[in-house]
Every structure is written in structure tokens, then in C-alpha cells.
Amino acid sequence: MSGVEICHLYISPGHNFVGHHGREPDTYPVVEVPVIECVAGRGIRGDRYFDFKEDFKGQITFFSLEVFDELCGAMQLQGCSPALMRRNVMTRGVDLNQLIGLQFELQGVHFYGVQECAPCYWMERAIAPGAQEFLKGRGGLRAKILSDGELRSTARVLEPIG
């Protein structure tokens, strides 16, 4: 897909919201990385959803930075990181909903767009009241990884030394 920019890549070692209905979320950080390793049928090495379930629909998640910018404007948020979305790949230049039901390739890695990554009620807490409603129909994309490979971000990410 020409013209698609991978702006940020994120992984998290644990689940903050999944399985936490009725209680406080955990506090696992979302870590921005310059490169992620995609493993076919398994997920992103080092991420909370790696080997989560067999044939899992959300082995990797994508979110549009254009939508994030609109969300921040609508909610009057300033200085927010797209990491708040807890999606793995932040893109520019693609309508992610158009990839549902399709195979696609980014940076030599092949994916299958499964479904919208629907926003849940936790968005109200993680982002702002009204975020869940605002994001309906544009919460990102859940996909399966069809081939092994690496994705690289255009962001300048400092890697720890040592």
C-alpha cells in the first residue's frame, strides 16, 4: 500500500482493561518502539496479545492518526499521546475500515483485516468522557498476521542503552 505511513509502533507487556470489568485497570505501560516483530498467526513478539489465543482476530491492531487528531480536537485535548489508544500501529494515509475483509501488505509483511477494533467503555476513562461514542465506526482495525516480518516506524524513538 503506497502512501501509507507507519507513524508510531507500540507494545504492552500486560492487559490494563481486558478482564477488569467492575474493578480498577492495571497499569502496564504502553511502550513506543522503533520496530516490531510480527509473527504469522501468533502476534507481535513482546506484546500482551502474543500467543493470546489460537486464531485470535486481534494479533495486531491499527489506528489512524487522522482520527486521533480529530478526537483530540473534538474532546479539546492537548498534549495527548496516541499511546492512549492502546493500538499497536499508528498510521497516516489509509482508511482502515476499507481493509476489513481484505489481505494487505505493509513493509513486506502480509495481514488480513478482520474487523473494526470497536471502542469500549474504558475509552471514557483512558481518553475523556464521550470518546467511546466519538470513536464508534472508527476505532481502528483488528488484523491477523499472515507472514513473518518487521514493521518500522517513522518516529524517532530513543532506545535505552544497556
Residue 154 has pLDDT above 90, yes or no: no
Tens of pLDDT, residue by residue over 130-141, are 988 999 999 999
Closest CA to 72 of 137, 135, 8, 27: 135
Q: Mean pLDDT, to the nearest integer, of 61-81?
A: 92
Q: What percent of the chain has pLDDT over 90?
A: 60
Residue entry with cell 483530540: 72
Quick check: helix, strand or coil at residue 86? Answer: coil
Residue 73 has pLDDT above 60, yes or no: yes
Residue 86 has pLDDT above 80, yes or no: yes
pTM of the predicted model, to two decimals? 0.87
For the segment(s) 5-152, the CATH number from 2.40.33.20, 3.30.70.20, 3.30.1300.10, 2.60.40.1180 is 2.40.33.20
Residue 57 has pLDDT above 90, yes or no: yes
Tens of pLDDT, residue by residue over 11-45, are 988 555 555 456 565 566 788 999 999 999 999 99
Closest CA to 146 of 87, 92, 99: 99
Residue entry with cell 489509509: 94
CA distance 104 to 96: 11
pLDDT of residue 38: 98
Domains of the chain, residue spans:
5-152
pLDDT of residue 20: 46
